[in-house]
Amino acid sequence: MYLAHRTFPATRLRRMRADAFSRQLMQEHRLAPQDLILPVFVQEGDNQREAIPSMPGVERLSLDLLLQEAREIADLGIPAMALFPVVGVEGKSELAEEAYNPNGLVQRSVRVLKEAVPELGIITDVALDPYTTHGQDGIIDEQGYVLNDRTVETLVKQALSHAEAGADMLAPSDMMDGRIGQIRQVLEQEQLVNTRIFSYAAKYASHYYGPFRDAVGSAANLGKADKKTYQMDPANSDEALHEVAMDLVEGADMVMIKPGLPYLDIVHRIKKELGVPTFVYQVSGEYAMQMNAIEKGWLSEESMMEALLCMKRAGADGILTYYAKRAAQILRGV
Ligand code: PBG
């Protein structure tokens, strides 16, 4: 038997680990700047930057400052940026009409970014939570239940407004049923055939999104409500395959699993069983835990690189991470 021959002392697994060169040769997975997508928070104004206390190193930026950031990350070899708007009270309503304003913050940002840094892929978030007074990702009835089909109608308008502004990739993060198909249909109708759809296909109702909700200012609006009637139960794995398969059939080009580190079994299953472009989101809560420990000196910075590498080993083709710029700098030795 094959294994019988691979025993001590003929086989010493430590031999290959003895020097850096042989460790390098047998390395099965690698992290590169090309694997990373940087999520960013954009706000109105000029020369405005606001720190997010729970997320060391992450800031809400006005568009002029975001342009500089876009230039820098493109130069580091990061292929894309995912845009999240910080919307003030004036942009929030029951029906989230601001979501599809052709001159809204996201739509304007996309136009300016594509003009200034054309090679950087711009991904927009398709979901209503920044625009609703109640902080849910969709339109609700009197009981507060998020109405699926009514929400999808608005998401389609939002998606089209992003695509018309020049967004390269639309990322629906709302978890409504059937939205990928409806968005794909309208993109085809409008001959926007190369606008990619990056589906948050397996998005769990996670408690790790807290710092993000603070960053975009939806936490207070959401209050004690949760998103369990549309986001997935953390107990489920088969259901993730079902979600991803449906989104692919409806026309998604890439799929995402979210959160990251506690959900790598899901990443592994999806990549293995479906073999499609599979991405993972290291979400705000994961980032906050690790970065706050690093800031205190309780963990080393290398722990972050390790977490990202482990996501690739699990099967992710790429990673959305607030650490993308720093990781790319480390990888490039700058
Ligand atoms: C909302 C959205 C969320 C995140 C991305 N898009 C939060 C939520 O679902 O409440 C979370 C990202 C993060 O925590 O880093 N559509």
Mention every residue, 6+ apart, whose C-beta is less than 8 A from residue 211. Answer: 52, 54, 55, 284, 285, 287, 288
ipTM associated with this complex = 0.97
Beta carbon of 287 within 6 Å of any ligand 1 atom: no
Please report the sign of the dihedral spanned by the C-alpha atoms of residue 198, residue 62, residue 137, residue 225.
positive
Give the other-Cβ count within 10 Å of 161's Cβ.
Answer: 21
Give the other-Cβ count within 10 Å of 239's Cβ.
Answer: 14
d(CA 172, CA 252): 10
Ligand 1 atom at minimum distance from 211 CA: 14
In the prediction, which pLDDT does 134 show? 95
Beta carbon of 212 within 6 Å of any ligand 1 atom: yes
> How many CA atoms lie within 13 Å of 292's alpha carbon, on the beta-carbon side?
11
Letter string b/e over residues 121-136, b meaning 16 or more CB atoms within 10 A of that residue's CB: bbbbbbbbbbbbebbb
Ligand 1 atom at minimum distance from 283 CA: 15
d(CA 98, CA 153): 14
> pLDDT digit of tens for each residue in the chain (334 aa)?
566 667 899 899 999 999 999 999 999 999 999 999 999 999 999 999 999 999 999 999 999 999 999 999 999 999 999 999 999 999 999 999 999 999 999 999 999 999 999 999 999 999 999 999 999 999 999 999 999 999 999 999 999 999 999 999 999 999 999 999 999 999 999 999 999 999 999 999 999 999 999 888 888 899 999 999 999 999 999 999 999 999 999 999 999 999 999 999 999 999 999 999 999 999 999 999 999 999 999 999 999 999 999 999 999 999 999 999 999 999 999 9
Residue 106 Ramachandran class (φ > 0 left, ψ -120 to 50 alpha, else beta): alpha
CA–CA distances in Å: residue 325 to residues 61, 213, 321, 329? 15, 22, 9, 6
Return the residue whose CA atom lies nearest to atom 8 of ligand 1.
209
Strand 80-85, strand 169-172: pairing: unpaired
Q: The tokens 């963990």 sit on which residue?
A: 299
Mention every residue, 6+ apart, whose C-beta is less than 8 A from residue 280. Answer: 256, 257, 258, 260, 263, 264, 267, 311, 314, 316, 318, 319, 320
**Superfamily (CATH H level) for 34-332:** Aldolase class I (3.20.20.70)
Beta carbon of 326 within 6 Å of any ligand 1 atom: no
Ligand 1 atom at minimum distance from 203 CA: 9
- Of 253, 233, 289, 66, nearest to 171 by C-alpha is 253
Ligand 1 centroid to residue 8 C-alpha, Å: 50
